[in-house]
Every structure is written in structure tokens, then in C-alpha cells.
Amino acid sequence: MTDLSQNRPAAGIAFIVAGMVAISINDMLIKQLSGDYPLHQMVFLRSSIGIGLSLMLVQIEGGVSLLKTRHPVLHTIRCLLVVISNMTFFVALAAAPLADVTALFFAAPLFITVLSIPILGEKVGPMRIGAVVLGFAGVIIMQRPWEGSETMTADRVVLMLPVLSALTYALNQLMTRKLGATTKASALAVYIQGMFILVSIGFYVVAGDGRFAAGTDNPSLNFLLRAWTWPADGDWFYFIWLGLNSGVVGYCLAQAYRVADAATVAPFEYVGLPLAVFWGWLIWGELPAPLVWLGMAMIMGAGLFVFLREQQKARKIARAEIKGRY
């Protein structure tokens, strides 16, 4: 939890909204380029540019000494979780509508609530449990298990990837709570960008020649495993935009949760859902089916309820602690 003496809710909300706008642009650009370039190449180019911006922010916030940490193993695990979360989300984008993938990812707050019980030892009341059940029912509705595959907008395995992305994102958030807000936002961004670069280089060494993509017509596998190719002249603008945008995302999200309480900031992450619908409609002419709208509403409503309920509970605890002092 953010130190109350440092709590700046307006700044936190501004950072999270800016971060979500940047994320929506990032997702749109990656989906737009997913038919021509492999994911690991896009991640490498994006993060190579983004880490430069992040290092500039490190210098502004205090210099390279900020990159020193007493918890290198925990930060490594946290960064790997972020990489897994991002890459499973991006692979799904290649084969499924942007709005569907984004909505399924927003199951993350529900996972956070459930996992906080065994990992953080938190107590979750029946109302929040009920909201979690409703939200996961929304996930099932979006999967539409009663329909044949020929009527689905994407393969069900693909639609499970953003759910896996949400799970690893939730684990990352819980790790961040465990670590505490002791590291500058710019340093956190550098750690993550560095891990993206290392993982993408590993993909290049193993699969950069495209041999594992040969013979497959699955768009997600092709996106993950196709050979590296030199970007067309007209595409360099998009890659540079992705890189700069990546630095903005990493900084804004880390800063939002550093300067304001999570209960204040987290509900504004849902700005990303209408933005995803907007980009999907504007660029690809995609609009969710009626049942997908219902599933989205259930996931979004459940997530917002969980956030607001946690905030209400925190206020009650704070009031009880104040009364106990006098």
C-alpha cells in the first residue's frame, strides 16, 4: 500500500489513464503488424527503443544508482511474469478480436482477489467471492462452450491465452505488493525492458530462422515463431512508435501505483476496455457479439465491485485503527 503521506490520488489517476491509453495504442499497433513480423522481433525492437527512454528517466530521477536492488531474484521472477503475461496476450491478438482479448484479460483483478487468500493471507468476504464467481461466469460466456468452433471468432485455445495472461499479471501484482514500493518507477521499467530484450534474443537464437513455423497455418503460432525479417521502410515509424510507447507504458503504470493507493488507481485500468472496442471497430470493423458484450459487462462489473469493496474495507480498518488510538 502507498504511504499515505505520499498519496497523490489525482496524479495516480492521471498516470494510470495515460498508461492505459498508451497500452491500447501498443496493442493496436502489435495486432496491426502481427501478420508480417514475428512477436519476438517486435518485442526486441520495441524494448530496445523503450529501454533507452527508460534509462533517460532513470537519469532524471536520480541516476544509475537507482538500478541497484537488494532483491534481484524477486525482481527477475516479477519481470518473467510480466513477459509471459504480455506475450500470451500478444499471441492471442494475432487470431482474436482486440476487444475480446482485452476483456478476457480483465479477469486479472478476480485472480488477484482469489490468489491473495493463499499468498497474502487476506480474508475475502462472501460479497467479493460472489463477484469473483460472477466475473468468471462472464469469462465462460465469452468462451461460449456450447457453440461449435465454426461459429466462433477465434479458437478456444487462443481465447484461453488472455486468461493465462491475466493469471500471470495477477501473480506479478501480488509480487509487487510483497516487494513494496521501494524502487523508482523508471528502474522498474528498465528491469522489465531488459527482460523483454533477453527473452526475445533467446527466441531469436532458437527460432529466429522460422524453422518451427514451417507448415503451420495457425496465426498465433506463426506470429510467435516466424522468421525475423527486415522491416519495410513504411513500418519503421510504427516500430519506433511502439518503442517510445513501451517506455511510456512502463513508467506510467509503475508511477501510478507508486504515487497513489491501488484501490484508487486500479478501477481506472478499465478505461482500456472501451478503447479496445474503439480501435477494433475503427481499424478492423470488429464489434463484439451480443453474448461477448454480456461477458464483458460481467467481468468489468465484477472487477469494479471487487476494487470498490476492497477500498470500502480498507477505510473501515483505517477508522477502527484511529478509534483504537484514542
C-alpha cell read off for 295: 461477458
Q: CA nearest 292: which of 87, 84, 151?
A: 151
pLDDT score at 1:
44
Domain assignment of residue 135, given as a range: 4-325
SS (H, E, C) the chain: CCCHHHCCHHHHHHHHHHHHHHHHHHHHHHHHHCCCCCHHHHHHHHHHHHHHHHHHHHHHHCCHHHHCCCCHHHHHHHHHHHHHHHHHHHHHHCCCCHHHHHHHHCCHHHHHHHHHHHHHCCCCCHHHHHHHHHHHHHHHHHHCCCCCHHHCCCCHHHHHHHHHHHHHHHHHHHHHHHHCCCCCHHHHHHHHHHHHHHHHHHHHHHHCCCCCCCCCCCHHHHHHHCCCCCCCHHHHHHHHHHHHHHHHHHHHHHHHHHHCCHHHHHHHHHHHHHHHHHHHHHHHCCCCCHHHHHHHHHHHHHHHHHHHHHHHHHHHHHHHHHHHHC
For residue 5, name the pLDDT band (cuts at 50, 70, 90): very low
For residue 144, name the pLDDT band (cuts at 50, 70, 90): confident
Query: From CA 163, how far away is CA 275, in angstroms rounded?
Result: 19
For residue 179, name the pLDDT band (cuts at 50, 70, 90): low
**In whole numbers, what is the pLDDT of the chain averaged over residues?**
84
270-298 per-position pLDDT tens digit: 899 999 999 999 999 988 888 889 999 99
For residue 326, name the pLDDT band (cuts at 50, 70, 90): very low
234-272 per-position pLDDT tens digit: 899 998 898 888 878 878 887 887 777 666 777 788 899
- Overall number of domains in the chain: 1
Percent of the chain with pLDDT over 70: 87
CA 182 to chain CA mean position, Å: 21
Q: Greatest CA span in the chain, whole angstroms?
A: 73
pLDDT score at 39:
93
pTM beyond 0.75: yes
Q: Which amino acid is at 214?
A: A
Is residue 216's pLDDT more than 90? no
